[in-house]
Structure 1
Amino acid sequence: MTDTAARIDPSACVLLHDLAVRRDRDEWIVGRMATRTFVALPEAGARAVQLLGDGLSVGRTAEALRAETGEEFEVADFVRDLAALGFVARIGDRLVPDDQSPSASLSWLRPHHVRLALHPALPVLVGLLLAAAVVVLVRRPDLVPGYRDLLWSPHGSLVVLSAAAAGWVLLLAHELAHLVTARAAGVPGRMRLGTRLQFLVMQTDISGIELAPRRHRLTAYLAGIALNLSVASALVLTLAVTDTGTTAHRLESAALLLALLPLPFQLMVFTRTDLYFVLQDLTGCRNLYGDGLAYARYVARCAVRPPRSGRTARSEDPSTRLPPHERAAVRLYSVVLVAGTVVCLGFMAAVTLPVDVTLLVRAVRGLGPGHGLARNADAAAVLITLGGANVLWAVTWWRNR
């Protein structure tokens, strides 16, 4: 029998780890920043945490709750749940085993180093920069980028390699913006590779931002988009003073398009993009994706095998257990989730996969002593970038599955 499963004596006092608490609507967000574990508790649960943290025993906490609410609470079971979450350091004289805390990216970076990232003036500066770029584009529509701007060189290998290098640099900067703003709010944050359907992405885990004020939360969620828009706006202003037809102008135009290309992807909220977290926060949902997926599966089961009665359908509907303000958002999101996933995977099967296979086959055929140096270089560039990206996606998916 483990320590957390053992019987808890009512006279036992509980030592909690350092926990952070924030009120959110009718619930309380309680979490441990060190392990990035957070839960939503009702009023009585948050009060129990407070009483236990004040040194009251399990039995006295139950008595205090009964006196305040007139209801009985199984505080011992509640303590076991807290221990399973890693919130409890000791129960009586028994130490509770503690899981190793996940390492943070750039752990040397402290909140006071980047506190300006949450300054209220920063969004204003980004807005002014964006407005200036829009004015320039209105007056100079010839600066609006098109797909031909990516083909800045007649050598395909240079185009592919430079686009890959610039794309990864921008991606790293995008995620670094999330990390910096979260760190300014006191959240450790961790950057790593991940997958979203067929896409290989870099993602930043900023669990703990839920405890920050709403302005800080939204700033952290939107920091990456703001970074892309700022880079694109700066490039527009630079293009306006660069002679057209020069190599510098062509490179700047290509970089501008690369900075803007990730932004439409953010609209794909069914893949949990930055805008997904903004949507989840604004709707007050705890787990919009998970609840939406559960509701979509329920609807699919009902379509295949309709329930025998309306009462059975209501009892099996997972959305009925959600608060009213979440229910409508989850049901609507489930439609977006299913439709978006179907379209996305269909596009991959009909377009992306055939194109990738064709390019890779051509690249393999372009290798060998029978071809010139330029042809071999182009083929190698395609194999390294395109083939490497697909291999990296497969390895990342397998590791995170």
Structure 2
Amino acid sequence: MIQAVTVVPDGDGYLLGWRGGPDFVEVPAVGGRIVLWLQEGLSVAECTARAGEMVGEPVDVEDFLHDLTEAGILSDEEPPGDTPPFGHRLGRILFGPAGLTAQAALVVIGVVLLVVDPALRPDYHDGVPFTIPLASLLSITVVSAVLTVIHEMAHKLAAAQYGVYGRISFGRRLFFIVAQTDVTGLWVLPRRRRAVPLVAGILIDAAIVAILVILQEFVGPDPIMRVAVFINVGAIVAQTAVYMRTDFYALFLVLTNSKNLWALKGAVFRRLIRRAGRNDLDLIGAATPRELFWARAYLLLYVPGVAIAFSYYFGFTLRATLRVIGLAVSAIPDGGWSAVGGVVALLVILVPMGFGLTGAARSGIAAIRRAAHSGLRAQTEMPI
């Protein structure tokens, strides 16, 4: 259905997509013009003639349309209806000019209070607000879940104001289990409009921290509020870790106009350590100088970033976690409900931690194997 295809100018070419699908392709200027002509009602023959005049040589429009169908851009499915009015309106309220101004004002006030009053600043002890391990664990779990939903809904609502749908799911970043919102549909928007939906979660996290800090300044310290501030400050810090495909990673893609940064970064790194395979070399060969520049720049962030992530995990997150584990273990010999609470606390902590650590270990082993395999292929196919 050609009318459902979105055509967005991007550099010297166009990005073609489908608002109801996850696939987008970059085409030269003539490709974008062909789709626009078809949407205006011109026939394939007329588009073929115009395209030939535009580029100075024959253009196979039918083959071009076939390629778009194979790529999932053209579809016989009906496009979805408009974004639900409530989501669109709420997105405009929260992330339109007035909403962004209000959030910015709150954050400024919150930062000033944190600077002026050290007692309001989060501390790792806030990760264990109660001496009863199960109470601490449940409070952290519930508050984390609520804040996570708010964070992901912020992405959805900020995208909804432009009529783009988002899908929430769960995934992993290194050894962290995370929630994530798929807003691939933002590719249908011009670059400048993609930024706010991508950082909307961070914006709402910062606004919530500011609100809680302001409340505590007037009503006094509260353990649950301090837990929420502790969690959201940690979440904001974690989002700056562009080496883990965080919100700021997505923003980095927009700012640098990169579309295949993750794969190209890996190819550049493997070539650097002489483990590049044929696919890596083909990817590097097809990249533009600008794309290679940003891949190298990103690599300079990625390598130390992973080291920082490990330092943060083992020096901060793990310390708070081990304290809760210690409290849970100490409660088991007491018997009764204390023992039950201790066991439940251990399960709630250790199960997701186990998934995260084992997943990270599997990814690391797979990366090592791919590097070794790529190296053998490179030596066999292109000996030097």
TM-score of the pair, normalised by structure 2:
0.80
How far the C-alpha of 1:188 sits from its partner, in A, is: 1.0
How far the C-alpha of 1:384 sits from its partner, in A, is: 2.6
The residue matched to 2:220 in structure 1 has which SS?
A: coil
Distance 2:292 2:29 in 1: 21
How far the C-alpha of 1:269 sits from its partner, in A, is: 0.7
Matched, 1:278 2:255: no
- State how 1:270-349 maps to structure 2 within 5 Å: 270-300=243-273, 303-304=274-275, 316=281, 318-341=283-306, 344=309
- State how 1:48-127 maps to structure 2 within 5 Å: 48-89=34-75, 109-127=86-104
How far the C-alpha of 1:363 sits from its partner, in A, is: 6.2
Q: Which residue, 3, 6, 29 being the options, matches 2:15?
A: 29
Q: Which residue, 121, 138, 149 being the options, matches 1:144?
A: 121
Report the counterpart of residue 369 of structure 2 in structure 1: none
CA RMSD of superposed structures (Å): 3.8
Report the counterpart of residue 4 of structure 2 in structure 1: 18
How far the C-alpha of 1:380 sits from its partner, in A, is: 1.6
- CA distance 1:199–1:108, shift in 2 (3 Å): farther
Runs of 4+ in 1 over 6 A off after TM superposition: 100-104, 345-366, 392-395
Q: What code does the residue aligned with 1:184 have? A: Q
The residue matched to 1:88 in structure 2 has which SS?
A: coil
The residue matched to 2:4 in structure 1 has which SS?
A: coil
Distance 1:23 1:178 in 2: 24
Q: Is the 8 A contact 1:270 1:340 kept in 2?
A: yes
Q: What code does the residue aligned with 2:176 have? A: F
Report the counterpart of residue 12 of structure 1 in structure 2: none
Could you report, residue by residue, the CA deviation over 1:96-119 in whole angstroms, capped at 9, with x for unpaired residues? 6x5x98999x96854245322332
The residue matched to 1:41 in structure 2 has which SS?
A: strand
Q: Is the 8 A contact 2:18 2:74 kept in 1?
A: no
The residue matched to 1:208 in structure 2 has which SS?
A: helix
Q: What code does the residue aligned with 1:176 have? A: M
- State how 1:355-370 maps to structure 2 within 5 Å: none
Distance 1:234 1:177 in 2: 16
Report the counterpart of residue 382 of structure 2 in structure 1: none
Number of equivalences: 362
The residue matched to 1:145 in structure 2 has which SS?
A: coil
Q: What code does the residue aligned with 1:73 have? A: V
Structure 1, unmatched stretches of 5+, are: 1-14, 90-95
Q: What code does the residue aligned with 1:325 have? A: R
Q: What code does the residue aligned with 1:208 have? A: G
Q: Which residue, 237, 240, 259 being the options, matches 1:264?
A: 237
- State how 1:389-400 maps to structure 2 within 5 Å: 390-391=354-355
How far the C-alpha of 1:61 sits from its partner, in A, is: 2.6
TM-score of the pair, normalised by structure 1:
0.77
Report the counterpart of residue 378 of structure 1 in structure 2: 342
Higher relative contact order (CA 8 A, sep 6+): 2
Distance 2:176 2:253 in 1: 21
How far the C-alpha of 1:234 sits from its partner, in A, is: 0.7
Could you report, residue by residue, the CA deviation over 1:120-167 in whole angstroms, capped at 9, with x for unpaired residues? 122221111111112222332222221123332221211111111111
Report the counterpart of residue 192 of structure 1 in structure 2: 169
